[in-house]
A = this chain, B = another copy of it.
Amino acid sequence: METDLSLSEFQRLIERLYYAKDSGRGREATFMWFVEEVGELAQALRRGDQREVQEEFADVLAWLNTLASLAGVELAEAVGKYAAGCPKCAQTPCGCEKPS
């Protein structure tokens, strides 16, 4: 299903689903759940099942959103730092000479 919600619409959706439960658990414990999902994403990428990979990306994104809500951060606002090119070199595409 292609929905293409906005960043703030998705953050609100995740809040309706999980904010009550996640705020009861607290920020530190919720961070641990988030990192657990990051581990599941690593495993899915290693296994290479594309459906599982897609599911795990969605889960990591959902947990990142709930964590942002717990921290009082609006992701739609936070990503403004990328709106005018790379935040470090101000170019599009990024021209930073970073180590790979």
- A:32-91 near B, CB below 8 Å: 35, 38, 42, 45, 50, 53-55, 57-58, 60-62, 64, 67-68, 71-83, 85-86
Interface residues on A, range: 35 or more
Q: How far is the CB of A19 from chain B (nearest CB, A)?
A: 8
Residues of B within 8 A of A27 (CB): 45
How does the 8 Å CB contact mask read for A1-23 relative to B, with 1 for contact and 0 for none? 11111111010011011111100
Residue of B whose beta carbon sits closest to that of A72:
B50
Interface of A is mostly: helix
Residues of B within 8 A of A93 (CB): 16-21
Residues of B within 8 A of A71 (CB): 45, 53, 57
State whether A76 and B42 are in contact (beta carbons under 8 Å apart), knowing that A21-B93, A92-B17 are contacts in the complex: no
State whether A58 and B82 are in contact (beta carbons under 8 Å apart), knowing that A2-B76, A38-B35, A71-B53 are contacts in the complex: yes
A38→B35 CA distance, assembly (Å): 8
